[in-house]
Amino acid sequence: MNNMNITDIVNPANLVYKKNSVLNDLPMHYCPGCSHGVVHKLLGDIIEELNIQEQTIGVAPVGCAVFAYKYLDIDWQQAAHGRAPALATAIKRLLPDRYVFTYQGDGDLAAIGTAETLHACNRGENIVIIYINNGIYGMTGGQMAPTTLLGMKSTTSPKGRMYERDGNPLDMPKLLAELDGVCYVTRQAVHTVGAVKKCRRAIKKAFEYSALNKGTSIVEVVSTCNSGWKMTPDFANRWMVENMFSKYPLGDIKDTIQA
């Protein structure tokens, strides 16, 4: 870069990276350090790469990603809290040649929407479920989620989650992987360049699988919520590696297509 002048740098021939065309030119409302923005970008990358922008319908949740529909230039529906898999089921059943995905948080998928998620997976709906697990309710200000780690503090567990009172953190992808209707379950993160690359491959695979009509594909992204966790973005990443990954280990949980 040092021996390039400014006109060389802006010359399209020297461009090494540009934002995908599916991601809108809008400032995101997410907190600095939040994982949502990276996952949105990856979705835009993959929709562009697979050239499926006109065939893709997203279903946004209730939670921090309630406004996901603002950021990706595709058709979207915004669901009631937890009900995204029910909407996606009907959309995919009536438009079977479309790519349909839900984008859900851990409160949405693992608490209030457990039934809708489990039954959509059990029916083997040919949809993609993007599951953002940051172990906390972000949008409402940091309450305990079903995924909150034991001992982890939140506004509704100020002294930490207690097994005796609150039960253990719920690992939904592991549970859903048991269902015959599910063809692909993977757990990823986006805290390093390497992790982002792996996560990108996983999301791409999930979209490709959904076109094979072999069942539901689930990509969990273990994420940070530095605002809800009351940590700096950098410290939140380290805390996630040291604490979240032992309960939610990264890697493929199930892949019946490649197996």
Q: Decide: residue 233, CB within 10 A, 0-12 exposed, 13-18 middle, 19+ buried.
A: middle
Is residue 83 a contact point for another protein (CB under 8 A)? yes
Site track for another protein across 100-139, x = CB under 8 A:
---------------xx--x--------------------
Count residues binding another protein (CB under 8 A): 31
Smallest gap from Cβ 186 to another protein, in A, equals 25
Strands (E), 106-225: 128-133, 136-137, 143-144, 182-189, 216-222
Q: Which one of residues 34, 38, 43, 88 is an interface residue with another protein (CB under 8 A)?
A: 88
- Secondary structure (DSSP) of 199-257: HHHHHHHHHHHHTTTS-EEEEEEE---HHHHT--HHHHHHHIIIIIHHHS--EEEEETT
Asked whether 126 and 184 are in contact (CB, 8 A), the reply is no
3-state secondary structure 47-60: HHHCCCHHHEEEEE
State residue 13 phi and psi, 5-degree precision: -65, -25
Strands 136-137 and 143-144: antiparallel
Q: What is the DSSP letter of 168?
A: P
For residues 43-62, which are near another protein according to CB under 8 A? 53-57, 59-60
Smallest gap from Cβ 30 to another protein, in A, equals 15
Is residue 93 a contact point for another protein (CB under 8 A)? yes
Q: Which one of residues 69, 101, 137, 184 is an interface residue with another protein (CB under 8 A)?
A: 69
Q: Which one of residues 20, 28, 37, 75 is an interface residue with another protein (CB under 8 A)?
A: 75
Asked whether 171 and 247 are in contact (CB, 8 A), the reply is yes
From 86-94, 181-189, 228-236, 250-258, give the range in contact with another protein by CB under 8 A.
86-94
Smallest gap from Cβ 59 to another protein, in A, equals 7
- Of 56 and 186, which has the nearer Cβ to another protein? 56
Report the interface residues with another protein, using CB under 8 A: 53-57, 59-60, 66, 69, 73-80, 83, 86-91, 93-95, 98, 115-116, 119
